Structure 1
């Protein structure tokens, strides 16, 4: 690679890193990719995979360096594997361009989305750097993902990138062509403004939610000596909200750093607390069960649900485990992998999209100047409300989250422990991504993070209130309960699968056409 190649690779990686939270540089994405496209299409095939791969490695290192706070080997492996996608996609673009330049440019957005769709699956799935996540600060622009999911936004960004490449580098500046690009921006933005106004013109049942952010050291809390004080802190912070009467209280992931199910003393204290507060409660906790079929115990990263006046313990087991941190990939097929210490706990995935059912008395709320608040009507009506707990890493996977809503959840909680990330960009990225889950499914989200960032997010994606990083405190607020499933909730990743099928057709058809062209040349 030449010095010019290195400059292009590094500049592209830096600009893409500046496009991700906490930086509001999402507008840079189409310009950056158009520039790199120009570079790649003027380089020989032999360099394109390496250039795309190195761009992915540097971009990943700048954006995902915080993984190293918990596991340096895990960070290195994640970055190196994740970058392979980018080497492949840029190499494919260059190969198609050799034979069919127009087809290559038309197909590039489809191929990109197809690759992002594939990253949702397998034990090493990791879609943290999907392009759509660069746009979390542009609320009107993202509203249409209730139809397509966030992959529709990735597609739009790639189409804009190709358009800018043609305008800037290929001098395609006919007024009609330039106007087409402006329409690509203004149409979704205009739809978003209209949709926000429409959603905020209605009244909704209002659920009062209390979120606890204890700000406990994520390493120290597992010390047996510290467990009593950690639990006492949760209890005291919850009781501070008693006069405000929250209908649902949320504690963060593994808030109780012991097997709560089997600790009778602590369990009874939680039951008593729920009765005193007259509130439902969701908490994160580790759990284990004996599995007769395998004659072994399995541990789980769990969420427990408590209801006032009841002694029934409902649970949800986290399904998407962090590769090489919570579980060793493929250990169910290769048992010897269980012997490898992954640091965060040797968990097994759950299998059920669990919905917890509440029957709170709710009042009506409405938007006044973009702020959701109670109406003057003091009538409260018992209302059956389904709520689900999404645990940490799961919240970046839209195809998982939507299934809770499809099963009946009309509000989501995200419980997480982002203390592992330290004071880095990681907690900001994770918190911002939750906005997409609210918009895709049009549900409110209450996010409880051990060290921050805790938030109350409305179905529009607007953050109602939040508690910042490394702060101790509680959040209280009314969240709207929206009962109409979106197109995306009902039909899932149809847009991603459509692009995947089209990509396969393009690649197979292109391969056949290439052989015909080469035969004629020969």
Structure 2
């Protein structure tokens, strides 16, 4: 344990140094897991008792260091919720992810007892992918640390994500680490020279071929001309003052002034950030046309014939009966209502389109396992938390302008779900509009990581990403994942760009997360195999 714990911690530190937004150190991802594999191998080859427990504990500590150093900024966002709610929510990103990672390593050890090293290492990759897919699919979702996201800074190496999504990156990173681990153990165990040479050749080919293909794709890729003029606004309003200290009409005035300063007669979309139209009571979606804030936006659009405002807003819907699991009773008990973190598309016509944020932050925006734990909802509300406060929709949406341009609205946290964005693009979106409010995290690496991850959505779908962030960083990202323009942090500004719309559908857009689904099936089969072996 004395020798293996430093190896695990060193692995965690290397993975942290390699992780976005750090530049020029991405290559460490390909060697960062080797010390962790060596620590597990040392335990497996030792004579100590309780090897499975030691592997779990050792790997958990290493992964905990990696995760905590990368997402330390999560703590800053806890100011918006009650202190009682904050404690368990902190454990979700800091500890739950490392626990699942360590569980994958423990399963690898159990499989190693029943099979050889090669098969068990293949199983490790499947168990890991199964953990990652679980962590983006269940109610405690937090796929921020999906291993393939680590290539976001060096996006030139990941152009083939248009075929595999980020899970292709997870497999690639694990493959190189495993091959280097096998090469080192081969030297340590004095394996035949031919086998070592074969491993060297395999490792070089496995590294060079994907990277070479990606670089070729990056430099040869050409966008088809199909221009549309887009403006993204960054009002730079302190998120802790948005709720009431700055009147909503004044916040809209700030946004319209920013857009007027650079808008053109042919501007087709003005994109405003998440909750750009806040309201203490929310906006009634069924009576939007008489809402003063809606009328204020329509007045702004009078000078832009083909203009649309795609904005975030806080809305609600009233029901006579409880038609959704997230609905709460009204104060007078006469009905029910749902509150939404919504995207709203307002145009120069009588049509208004709504999209309800669907990937909600566990604890802060949704009650995990709500059906089973719904009895806790009143307690959270009285303790000051926002748990379970928002409704959602189960299918992504595409907003269509009068001229037929399709935009997929992606609200904040949703931008780290590749398949969710791809489903929306598959339904006809020609560009991706990310609206977010990263001010809760303050001036930390969280905002930079969030921006970097958006580059992967551009590559996966070969769509421009137009990103409007309340306090920064707002940006335009082209179809290769290059940041063409970006704002500074905590600056009131607006950006304008002629983007190219795209209607072609990539392999990943069409098929989504097929890799983690296959990997998860293999992981389940591996677990069943272990259970059957144990029973026999």
Taking structure 1 as the reference length, the TM-score comes to 0.89
Answering whether residue 352 of structure 2 is matched by residue 352 of structure 1, we say no
- Name which of 243, 267, 271 aligns with 1:250: 271
User: Which residue of 2 is the match for residue 288 of structure 1?
Assistant: 316
SS in 1 for 2:154: coil
How many positions carry a matched residue from both structures? 490
SS in 1 for 2:475: strand
Q: Is contact 2:343-2:355 (8 Å) kept?
A: yes
User: Which residue of 2 is the match for residue 67 of structure 1?
Assistant: 74
SS in 2 for 1:322: coil
Question: RMSD of aligned C-alpha atoms?
Answer: 2.0
Residue 319 of structure 1, CA deviation: 0.6
User: Which residue of 1 is the match for residue 205 of structure 2?
Assistant: 183
Q: Is contact 2:263-2:496 (8 Å) kept?
A: no
User: Which residue of 1 is the match for residue 330 of structure 2?
Assistant: none
Counterparts of residues 135-284 of structure 1 (less than 5 Å): 135-171=151-187, 174-200=196-222, 202-243=223-264, 245-258=266-279, 259-261=282-284, 264-278=291-305, 279-284=307-312
User: Which residue of 2 is the match for residue 451 of structure 1?
Assistant: 471
Which consecutive unaligned segments of at least 5 residues does structure 1 have? 361-383, 517-522
1:491-514 CA-to-partner distances (Å, cap 9, x unmatched) read 111111111122223333355567
Q: Is contact 1:108-1:158 (8 Å) kept?
A: no
Distance 1:398 1:189 in 2: 21
User: Which residue of 2 is the match for residue 33 of structure 1?
Assistant: 33
Residue 236 of structure 1, CA deviation: 0.9
Which consecutive unaligned segments of at least 5 residues does structure 2 have? 44-50, 79-85, 323-334
Find runs of 4+ consecutive structure 1 residues off by over 4 angstroms. Answer: 260-263, 510-516
User: Which residue of 2 is the match for residue 85 of structure 1?
Assistant: 100
The verdict on how the C-alpha distance between 1:357 and 1:128 changes in structure 2, with shifts beyond 3 A counting, is: same
SS in 1 for 2:407: strand
SS in 1 for 2:26: coil
Residue 326 of structure 1, CA deviation: 1.4
Distance 1:182 1:244 in 2: 54
Answering whether residue 390 of structure 2 is matched by residue 396 of structure 1, we say no
SS in 2 for 1:223: coil
Distance 1:134 1:51 in 2: 23
Taking structure 2 as the reference length, the TM-score comes to 0.87
Distance 1:225 1:153 in 2: 44
Q: Is contact 1:45-1:94 (8 Å) kept?
A: yes
Answering whether residue 339 of structure 2 is matched by residue 299 of structure 1, we say yes
User: Which residue of 2 is the match for residue 519 of structure 1?
Assistant: none
Q: Is contact 1:414-1:445 (8 Å) kept?
A: yes
Residue 198 of structure 1, CA deviation: 3.7
User: Which residue of 1 is the match for residue 454 of structure 2?
Assistant: 434
The verdict on how the C-alpha distance between 1:208 and 1:343 changes in structure 2, with shifts beyond 3 A counting, is: same
Residue 244 of structure 1, CA deviation: 6.8
Q: Is contact 1:246-1:476 (8 Å) kept?
A: no
Larger mean CA deviation between 56-65 and 310-319 belongs to: 56-65
Larger mean CA deviation between 75-84 and 449-458 belongs to: 75-84
Q: Is contact 1:152-1:495 (8 Å) kept?
A: yes
SS in 1 for 2:395: coil
